Amino acid sequence: MRGLWVAASFAFLTASFSGGQQTSPSVPSQLADAQPAPVKVYAVGPGVTTPALLPLNLPPFPAEKCKKKMDGEVELSVIVDADGRPRNLGFLHPLSNDLDKFALQIVAADRFNPGTRDGTPVAVGQSVEVSMQACLEQTKDDAGKKAFRLRLRSEPVQALAALPHIPEEAVLAPVDASWKDSDDGALRLYRVGGGVSAPVPLNSVQAEFTDAARRAKYQGVCLVSTIVDRNGMPQDVRVVRKLDYGLDQSALDAVRRYRFKPAMRNGEPVPVMITVEVNFRLY
């Protein structure tokens, strides 16, 4: 009986973009862009205090029963700046499901009493473990079709700890950083190379070989484009080269679950577009 082999490799777009984008990519000049000044990042230790998480201002949690529960813990890295705002969020230990997005949203909304060095507020690197109890609810979208949404069943629990491998300096990304311009919707992407490092995959998600493809002994390579944002999340995931028998949808589902260490430019996380080759092989 033949076995199945599914693998993914990454190709980084440096000169052109593909994937049927609805808006035109705007790639900043890596020479002309004004570069924000880096700040010193401290680790908690002698003379440096831990940032203190302020109470969350969350709405009441619905009391109705949950039909399908989704619980888990996600560990993130964060730099708490001198004003007590979370900056440069990234994954340390993701779950490869929608709780990863929830964890990012929770920590992005956090506010802190900042850490201090000899009494002066400073930027401090920390890890944050976010424990969540969530509920998957069935709803309907605007078109009346069945859809699902994830909501919290209880207040998340967050625990701060030391962050391994704290950079000596970092450029702090904007608090409301996005890969899309908020005014005109244009893509704000950087090219890998020329001072921009490539995003690094943090997990390995296996794309599923469909029964129909197996019966037809069908195999091939599906190309998927995605934007890896400042937090290492895949965004705007699209098929560039299709496969039949549902394998293109299987490839999309897998790439959406990838998590990355984001691309970096002079110490600042930046969004880039990549293509992912998902190889479906029978052997």
161 in the same domain as 47: yes
The reported pLDDT for the residue numbered 16 is: 32
109 in the same domain as 121: yes
159 in the same domain as 83: yes
Chain centroid offset of residue 129 CA: 16
- 145 SS3 class: coil
213 in the same domain as 266: yes
Beta bridge partners of 276: 10, 224
Amino acid 49 reads T
Six token digits for residue 223: 């190309």
Contact 142/193 with Cβ under 8 angstroms? no
216 in the same domain as 105: no
Contact 232/261 with Cβ under 8 angstroms? yes
189 in the same domain as 74: no
165 in the same domain as 202: no
Q: Which domain covers residue 74, as residue numbers?
A: 39-170
Contact 231/262 with Cβ under 8 angstroms? yes
Beta bridge partners of 73: 131
267 in the same domain as 218: yes
146 in the same domain as 55: yes
What is the chain's percent helix, strand, coil content, to nearest 5? 10, 45, 45
The reported pLDDT for the residue numbered 177 is: 56
Contact 209/244 with Cβ under 8 angstroms? no
Residue among 247, 253, 254 at smallest CA distance from 220: 247
The reported pLDDT for the residue numbered 61 is: 75
In tens, the pLDDT along 90-118 reads 999 999 999 999 999 999 999 999 999 99
More confidently predicted of 125 and 30? 125
70 in the same domain as 141: yes
User: Which residues 6+ apart lie within 8 Å of 86 measured at CB?
Assistant: 78, 79, 80, 107, 108, 110, 112, 175
Q: Provide the 8-state DSSP code for 193.
A: B
The reported pLDDT for the residue numbered 45 is: 93
How large is the C-alpha radius of gyration of the chain? 21
- The pLDDT of residue 129 is above 90: yes
16 in the same domain as 97: no
Place 126 in a pLDDT band, splitting at 50, 70 and 90: very high
Residue at a domain's end among 146, 170, 194: 170
In tens, the pLDDT along 165-218 reads 898 999 998 766 555 644 555 557 888 988 999 999 999 888 999 999 999 999
Average pLDDT for the chain: 84
Beta bridge partners of 80: 86, 124
The reported pLDDT for the residue numbered 32 is: 41
Residue at a domain's end among 143, 170, 197: 170
Per the structure, how many domains does the chain have?
2
The reported pLDDT for the residue numbered 1 is: 44
CATH of the domain at 250: 3.30.2420.10
Rounded distance between C-alpha atoms, residue 51 and residue 126, angstroms: 9
Q: DSSP states of 146-171 as a string?
A: EEEEEEESS--EEEEEEPSS--SEEP
Residue at a domain's end among 144, 170, 196: 170
For 92, list phi and psi in degrees, rounded to 5.
Answer: -105, -50
Six token digits for residue 68: 């399908």
Place 248 in a pLDDT band, splitting at 50, 70 and 90: very high
Six token digits for residue 18: 């593909």
The pLDDT of 122-149, averaged and rounded, is 86
Is this prediction's pTM over 0.75?
Answer: yes
In tens, the pLDDT along 21-56 reads 333 344 444 434 556 789 999 999 999 999 999 998
197 in the same domain as 105: no
Percent of the chain surpassing pLDDT 90: 60
- 269 SS3 class: strand
